[in-house]
């Protein structure tokens, strides 16, 4: 397993991060989740990403239990704050000081640790002054409850504003966690150049486009039983890719993968890792063998002809509009 620095910080994280969205506490039983975490550790993964909102806090608890027998200093544990948790009352969401301070303590308790290595703003909060949010993060870093602060799905302009405030308050923003894959490249136009300039890295989620880039979804065929597309939340994320013409293009990647001695999943993960601003690709699993296979993408260098071949068969399907983000649109009044 290769490791890369996260932003301009001294923190190194594994090129493959184990994530437990849509799996722990929901799609897979706890014993299977523990087996997947064990497979990740055995494969050399040291970085684990979760969020308080995943399975309404249960995913954090499952991950904490699975890592309880590990040397804490040998791991990088990440979590996030923003989305509703608990009974979803008026202060159970967003990036207010109240919600952040209460959420970090609850997350630490569920994870069974005194600190997280990276605490991330899961989205940008238009309803809370950014100064309030960043001051809360500064206080969390100074208290030792988080070593570093990151964001997720923030626009280039939001990252720039947050970075400036962080510097004023004496801490660093070191990462952004966006969706990024062969089919979804919206960060390339503005977010990546901004982050390169300011010293942030990307920790990308959905490198396999919700499983579409594995080739298991075939044009004109029924959805595979038990696949993410048959799960309510997963289906909402994947439906944009279930176009027969696009799926036909994805099938053409199989030859490129075979020529490189890789599976289609490994090729998809290796593709995102070719971007120098990407520190790690987040990979989940419902079976331990998925992790064992996918980690083979770490350290792979795809040559120019391979990258050009990928673009030739599927690049024209890629979404590149930098204005697309998932930040809620309500504004301060």
Q: What CATH number should be reported for the domain holding residue 153?
A: 3.20.20.100
Q: Give residue 219's pLDDT.
A: 79
Decide if pLDDT at 243 tops 90: no
Q: Is residue 221 part of a domain?
A: no
Q: Is residue 121 part of a domain?
A: yes
Task: Report percent pLDDT > 90 for the chain.
Answer: 79
Decide if pLDDT at 24 tops 60: no
Q: Is residue 262 part of a domain?
A: no
In this prediction, residues 174-199 reach a mean pLDDT of 97
The residues, any chain, with a CB within 8 Å of residue 29's CB and separated by 6 or more, are none
Q: Give residue 236's pLDDT.
A: 67
In this prediction, residues 253-262 reach a mean pLDDT of 96
Nearest to 155 by CA among 322, 329, 330: 322
Of 138 and 56, the structure prediction assigns the larger pLDDT to: 138
Task: Give catalytic residues, as residue numbers.
Answer: 54
Q: Is residue 59 part of a domain?
A: yes
Range of the domain at 58: 3-207+272-300
Decide if pLDDT at 218 tops 90: no
Please give the mean pLDDT across all residues of the chain.
91
Q: Give residue 217's pLDDT.
A: 85
What total number of domains does the chain contain? 1
Of 225 and 18, the structure prediction assigns the larger pLDDT to: 18
In this prediction, residues 24-52 reach a mean pLDDT of 85
Q: Give residue 331's pLDDT.
A: 42
Q: Is residue 53 part of a domain?
A: yes
In this prediction, residues 181-199 reach a mean pLDDT of 97
Q: Is residue 264 part of a domain?
A: no
Decide if pLDDT at 326 tops 80: no
Q: Give residue 64's pLDDT.
A: 96
Q: Is residue 229 part of a domain?
A: no
Decide if pLDDT at 232 tops 50: yes
Q: Is residue 308 part of a domain?
A: no
In this prediction, residues 79-97 reach a mean pLDDT of 92
């Amino acid at each position: 397993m290769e490791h890369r620095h996260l932003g301009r910080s001294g923190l190194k994280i594994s090129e493959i991060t184990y994530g437990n969205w849509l799996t722990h506490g929901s799609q897979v039983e706890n014993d299977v989740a523990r087996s997947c975490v064990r497979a990740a550790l055995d494969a050399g993964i040291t970085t684990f990403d979760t969020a308080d909102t995943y399975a309404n806090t249960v995913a954090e608890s499952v991950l904490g239990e699975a890592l309880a027998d590990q040397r804490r200093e040998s791991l990088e544990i990440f979590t996030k704050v923003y989305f509703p948790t608990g009974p979803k009352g008026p202060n159970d969401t967003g990036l207010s000081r109240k919600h952040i301070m209460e959420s970090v303590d609850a997350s630490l308790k569920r994870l069974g640790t005194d600190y997280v290595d990276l605490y991330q703003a899961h989205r940008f909060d238009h309803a809370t002054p950014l100064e309030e949010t960043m001051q809360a993060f500064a206080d969390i870093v100074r208290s030792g409850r988080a070593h570093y602060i990151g964001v997720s799905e923030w626009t280039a302009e939001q990252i720039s504003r947050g970075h400036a405030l962080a510097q004023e308050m004496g801490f660093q923003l070191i990462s952004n966690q966006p969706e990024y894959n062969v089919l979804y490249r919206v960060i390339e136009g503005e977010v990546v150049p901004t982050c390169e300039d300011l010293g942030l890295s990307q920790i990308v989620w959905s490198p396999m486009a919700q499983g579409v880039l594995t080739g298991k979804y075939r044009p004109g065929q029924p959805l595979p039983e038990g696949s993410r597309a048959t799960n309510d939340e997963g289906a909402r994320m994947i439906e944009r890719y279930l176009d027969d013409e696009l799926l036909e293009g994805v099938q053409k990647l199989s030859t490129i993968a075979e020529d490189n001695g890789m599976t289609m999943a490994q090729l998809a993960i290796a593709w995102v890792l070719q971007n120098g601003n990407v520190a790690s690709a987040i990979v989940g699993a419902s079976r331990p063998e998925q992790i064992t296979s996918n980690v083979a993408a770490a350290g792979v260098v795809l040559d120019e002809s391979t990258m050009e071949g990928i673009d030739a068969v599927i690049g024209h399907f890629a979404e590149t509009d930098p204005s697309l983000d998932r930040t809620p649109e309500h504004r301060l009044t």
